[in-house]
Structure 1
Amino acid sequence: MKVEVVPHDPTWRIKFEHESKLVALALGENVIAIHHIGSTAIPYIYAKPIIDMLVEVKDIAKVEPQNSQMAVLGYIAMGEFGLPGRRFFRKHDENGKRTHHVHAFEANFSELQRHLAFRDYMIAHPEEAHIYSELKRQLAKQYPEDINGYMDGKDGFIKDREKRALEWKRQNLSLQQNT
């Protein structure tokens, strides 16, 4: 897979909003919420132009029976795809270029919280987001045809910032509860 990171596109938010409504209809009453995650959800940073959606569901077992509804929207069901407790879908445009990812998790699952904390931390800390953006640009140049090299290159940064993000989120929740 070619690794391409591009400047932030303000239409990514609109694309997320449009697609999330379709996904909500396809997955039905099991859906609690759909969140825009990944780099396209973080303003002003470079990103792979793929809209990542995190779907919070009541019961993960009720997602697979909706695979055919997701297929009508153009999604390919990938099962857990390496993350136990997740259901993963990907979508490509008419030229075969990947455009969307859907990550479905049951509510209160730790992976769900990790993704949201990372996104929120990056939005609240633009200097950290800029460092992440520059790392992504460097890795895309270093590994233009090697998605695994690109992903491995981001891994340490992401894990470190996820820890910071989860602690930051815990501190914010504690402050809110004390006020």
Structure 2
Amino acid sequence: MRRTNICAWTENWENLYSQEEAVLKDIFKDELIGIFHIGSTSIRAVGYAKPIIDILIVVKDIEKVDLYNSDMFVLGYEAKGEYGIAARRYFSKGKSDRTHHVHIFQIGNEHIKTHLAFKEYLIENPAEAKRYGELKINLAKQFPNEHHEYQTGKQQLVNELAEKAKKWALCRSFPTDVLE
């Protein structure tokens, strides 16, 4: 059973992302279009997060990502294939004490904009980010040893924020080279 560990936001998460970004850029250099820090560790205003660095990588050809599984294994990552999301490649690092999640999509995949819009929306709307962070900390207190319940408890707000972010993003520009 995985414990729900929520920590106060720290600048160290940005450093951990930067370190991993450099290594991942080197591995995927031939396929790489873009790489981004996503998730709550990338959004200061959320205030709280699981101490797991989420990384979004955009590549030219998703099928070629599988060729890098052994390189990722050497770094401590476990290749999990699509892991419930079609046309994604997902890697986790740290077994039960996870430190990083890597989500890889091919250029043009709709999930890229969804992840980036969610992040940018919360950065631009700190009251919404704070509301999300407070829910996370309250759910972690309520379900410290039931990670599934924690995840389920925050899903309604995540869906609401994702929908708001989607509408918000329609009026915003994003780096088109990673979206189309």
TM over 0.5: yes
Displacement of 1:28 after TM fit?
2.8
Asked if residue 39 in structure 1 is aligned to residue 40 in structure 2, the reply is: yes
What is the match of residue 142 of structure 1?
142
C-alpha displacement of 1:172? 2.4
Residues 16 and 36, structure 1, Cα contact 8 Å, conserved in 2: yes
Partner of 1:177: none
SS of 1:29's equivalent?
coil
Runs of 4+ in 1 over 3 A off after TM superposition: none
Rounded Cα–Cα distance in structure 2 between residues aligned with 1:3 and 1:102: 19
Give 3-state SS (helix, strand or coil) of 1:168's partner.
Answer: helix
Q: Partners in 2 of 1:36 and 1:120 — Cα distance?
A: 11
Percent identity among equivalent residues? 40
- Counterpart CA distance in 1 for 2:102 and 2:78 is 10
Deviations 1:107-166 (A, max 9, x none): 121111111100000011000000000000011111111121111111111111111111
For structure 2, the residue ranges without an aligned partner over 5 or more in a row are: 174-180
Indicate the residue corresponding to 2:151 in structure 1.
151
Q: Partner letter of residue 26 of structure 1?
A: I
**Which residue is 1:171 aligned to?**
171
Aligned residue number for residue 116 of structure 2: 116
- Secondary structure of 2:100's match? strand
Q: For the Cα contact (< 8 Å) 1:27–1:70, is it kept in 2?
A: no
Query: What is the TM-score normalised by the length of structure 1?
Result: 0.92
In structure 2, the residue matched to 1:127 is: 127
1:67 paired residue number: 69
The 1-side partners of 2:25 and 2:32 are apart by: 6
Structure 1 residue runs without a partner (length 5+):
174-179
TM-score (norm 2): 0.92
Task: Give the aligned residue type for 1:147.
Answer: H
Deviation at 1:21, TM superposition (A): 1.1
Greater relative CO (CA pairs within 8 A, separation 6+): 2
CA distance, structure 2, for counterparts of residue 2 and residue 156 of structure 1: 21
> How many residues are paired up?
171
Q: Is the 8 A contact 1:5 1:137 kept in 2?
A: yes
Q: CA RMSD in A?
A: 1.2
